[in-house]
Chain A
Amino acid sequence: MSKEKQLIKFTKKGIYCPQGKFYLDPWYPVDYAVISHGHADHARWGMKRYLCQHNSKPILQHRIGRDIKIESVAYNKSITINDVKVSFHPAGHVIGSAQIRLEYQGYIVVFSGDYKTQPDFISTPFESVKCHTFITESTFGLPIYKWKSEKELQNQLQHWVKTNQANHRTSVFLGYSLGKAQRLMSLLEETDDIFVHRAIHNLNEAISNSGLQLPETQLWSADLDKKELQNKIIIAPPALLGSRMLKRVPNAATAICSGWMQIRGNRRWQAVDAGFTVSDHADWDGLIMAVKASEAEQVYVTHGSQAVFSKYLNEIGIKADELKTEYGEDAMAEAEQESETLIQ
């Protein structure tokens, strides 16, 4: 058996490490799951044991359950499981997100989970890790996806809020509770008072209790006086679009924040007032940079534009294969929506 095969095997339940006897972000219940980050398509319920990076621990406990059996490790520290050296390295995707590095008898596999190479104001910046086999996502694996710098993005969002205020409108940003919400908070901090939906508020509390400092926000509750919200900033999960709660916001101007907003058709698809390209994932240049920096001899491409990105990598001389997983925007959107609509 090759060393790669001793380290990773692609099974129906997820990516398995035969030597270590654990799974990486499995999508079915297993005995031992090593988790890259807290999004619902990567961290699922029902595992007998969880292992993750320190900052992901409160998130998993909040989302999956207080009573789960969970251990955590700091970034760049390693633990050994059945002779496999396991360590977590910053992925720059959301708070606590990590690339998982496995090493056995000198052979190294890195599973990236989801990642973003551009630094933002809140998550620990991405660090590339050298390896023999690199498993990469490809959510935005087309050259049309190129992100603005965090500073440019901040100017754009702040300008929109100020224009809204001049027109007596309240700015509502829609983005997922984990990741997008905290990122928006960091981008809009000091622009004006920020109110957040309860789903975000509760998650923020869980994160703060573990000692991480988040920008200051207030809870947007149904009994809040309308006047208090007027001209302010609200951050809410996308599932709230079209909800009664959102309709009660005085003179709301609504913006969707997502990497898909790069394309006009997507911005216009939903009846909103603006669409901002704010993504937690690597853009085209970021994906290529990460793959090249890993110096891997074998790349596996998961969720997103697998076909396109692996074809391109092979053309530029990097051996790549598609890998079918159950991660991805759709799976996550469905799972996140379920948890978010419960609280309105």
Chain B
Amino acid sequence: MKQFSELISAIEITNKTNAKIAALVDYFKTAPEKDKLWLIALFTGKRPSRPVKTTLMKQWCMELTELPEWLFLESYSTVGDLGETIALLLPKPTHQLDLSLNEWMTELKALKPKSDSEKKAFVLEAWSGLHQQERLIFNKLIGGSFRIGVSKKTLVNSLAKLTNIDANQLMHSIIGKWDIDTISFEELINGSHINYDNSKPYPFCLAYALEKNLPELGKANDWMVEQKWDGIRGQIVKRNNEIYIWSRGEELVTTQFPELVEAVSNFKDDFVIDGEILAMKDSAVLLFNDLQKRLNRKSVTKKLLEDVPIGFYAYDILEFNGEDIRSQSFEERRTLLEKIFNSVVLPEQLKLSFLVEFTEWEELHAIRENSRAINSEGLMLKQKVSPYHTGRKKGDWWKWKVDPLTIDAVMIYAQKGSGRRSSKYTDYTFAVKKEDALVTVAKAYSGLTDKEITEISRWVNKNAIEKFGPVRTVKPELVFEIAFEGIALSNRHKSGVALRFPRISRWRRDKPVEEIDTIETVKQLITAP
């Protein structure tokens, strides 16, 4: 496992994608056949189910170290990762085990049906024969994520660099159905188990933010305008009775959205459609926060399907019955898209992105302002004659987002982050005034620089009210400007309001806590739909 351990060390220390790719390529060039396949399986979520419960691992570690539980938990909240905490706490190894990644994985697979005492004997033997970094990796092999910033895309890019095979094809290959016991590395990357012709996506056409006044775009009649939806951009590929969904990050996300696959199977034509994947209930678009609950899940449960149903707003069509029509004008493509969507009884999940009706540019200002009320981010302006460009090109498509709303709020809780952020207080809870007290309005964890986070972490250390555990209540003193995309009344929240996509826009060092917003001034931001 030495080689795998070195790979993880090399990847985790760098935040440069190219350095991660170089380390992966190096591994693929030199590692044994089966180890390479395991690496791909581990980083694409195709791992065997966890053979040992985390509670047992924690218990065994406490027995070995003779530490009280509170001290174990205190260590855990400082480290932020159970596998790593255990690796650090255990006594020094007594001997050195040298097994390959494949050998470890094979042993772990065989461990699953065994009794707890057999499992314990195995795990303790492994712990006493591995040094700290290898122990951590062993714990991660049992279950849990490495959190080292290797996405499927990074993995695919390294394979593409190694083999010169098209990255999207490799994505399909590694995501597709394969069995580590029967496939070879060669077969896997060459895609012997898939038919890439059926899944091949097109590069997305992307828009720039509008940087001029509307009349400068020319005649209003030359443009079509749609709402800009805030979900994840997706491409649905339907060819030869197979359906694939690609995200804009060029990941295959088909299995995450079974209801979309089913809805699309109603059509008899083949096509490639560009659109937005959204959380949608009773035909209304939900917040991005809701959609997030559906992303990157290992399994999509029935409950999740009911709680957060997924819908799709179709924007464009790129291919129709095998023919690439991207060079046609947007107006022509749109007509075809409407024709296809009107040809069947549309399932509830599928919607045609509606066009905004207008004749003069001025009319758009009010429509844009109203976007927030329907959980839209603003408007998209598309030139009627525009082809479907490859990538980002200036001039034909513009996005015109609504300005974010802001409030000033005070930090009341701070919590440590995870992964790279596990050593700092990065996740904060904010409150505004409600009469003489404070009421929580938002949680946010982005928008500050590393330097500011370091400074705030120090401040939290000094000003925390509790001394134990992961969450610190702090003196209400630090004021931040919180930006968000929308606001609605909510009886699920104590404050009575829910903010959409809140984030920290800046640290208001200039503002004393007396001058933060009140819940009344926050509620005044709600506009009637």
Binding site for B on A (CB under 8 A): 142-144, 146, 260, 262-275, 307-308, 311-312, 315, 330
Who on chain A is nearest to B451 by CB? A242
Asked if B191 is at the interface of the complex by the 8 Å CB criterion, the answer is no
Q: A268 touching B12 by the CB < 8 A rule?
A: yes
CA distance in complex: A10, B65 (Å): 36
Q: A265 touching B80 by the CB < 8 A rule?
A: yes
CA distance in complex: A260, B65 (Å): 21
State which of B236-244, B417-425, B474-482, B519-527 sits at the interface with chain A: B417-425
Q: A269 touching B461 by the CB < 8 A rule?
A: no
CA distance in complex: A268, B80 (Å): 13
CA distance in complex: A266, B12 (Å): 11
Who on chain A is nearest to B421 by CB? A265
Contact partners of B467 in chain A: CB under 8 A: 307-308
Given contacts A265-B421, A265-B423, A269-B420, contact A144 B13 (CB under 8 A): no
CA distance in complex: A330, B467 (Å): 17
Contact partners of B421 in chain A: CB under 8 A: 265, 269
Q: A265 touching B13 by the CB < 8 A rule?
A: no
Q: B89 touching A144 by the CB < 8 A rule?
A: yes
Asked if B403 is at the interface of the complex by the 8 Å CB criterion, the answer is no
Asked if B458 is at the interface of the complex by the 8 Å CB criterion, the answer is yes
Distance to closest chain A CB from B71 (angstroms): 6
Asked if B116 is at the interface of the complex by the 8 Å CB criterion, the answer is no
Asked if B85 is at the interface of the complex by the 8 Å CB criterion, the answer is yes
Q: A263 touching B14 by the CB < 8 A rule?
A: no
Contact partners of A146 in chain B: CB under 8 A: 88
Which secondary structure dominates where chain A touches chain B?
helix
Distance to closest chain A CB from B90 (angstroms): 10
- CB < 8 Å: which of B84, B89, B468 contacts A264? B84
Asked if B450 is at the interface of the complex by the 8 Å CB criterion, the answer is yes
A269-B423, A307-B468 provided; 4 other pairs, C-beta below 8 A?
A: A264-B12, A265-B417, A268-B15, A268-B420
Asked if B78 is at the interface of the complex by the 8 Å CB criterion, the answer is yes
- CB < 8 Å: which of A264, A272, A307, A330 contacts B422? A264
Distance to closest chain B CB from A178 (angstroms): 21
Distance to closest chain B CB from A315 (angstroms): 7
Contact partners of B14 in chain A: CB under 8 A: 271, 273
Q: What are 12 A-B contacts with C-beta separation under 8 Å?
A: A142-B71, A144-B78, A146-B88, A263-B79, A263-B84, A265-B80, A265-B421, A265-B422, A265-B423, A274-B13, A308-B74, A330-B462
CA distance in complex: A307, B472 (Å): 14
Asked if B81 is at the interface of the complex by the 8 Å CB criterion, the answer is yes
Q: B423 touching A143 by the CB < 8 A rule?
A: no
Distance to closest chain B CB from A321 (angstroms): 13
- CB < 8 Å: which of B67, B71, B419 contacts A265? B419
Contact partners of A262 in chain B: CB under 8 A: 88
Q: A263 touching B13 by the CB < 8 A rule?
A: no
Asked if B391 is at the interface of the complex by the 8 Å CB criterion, the answer is no
Q: B79 touching A265 by the CB < 8 A rule?
A: yes
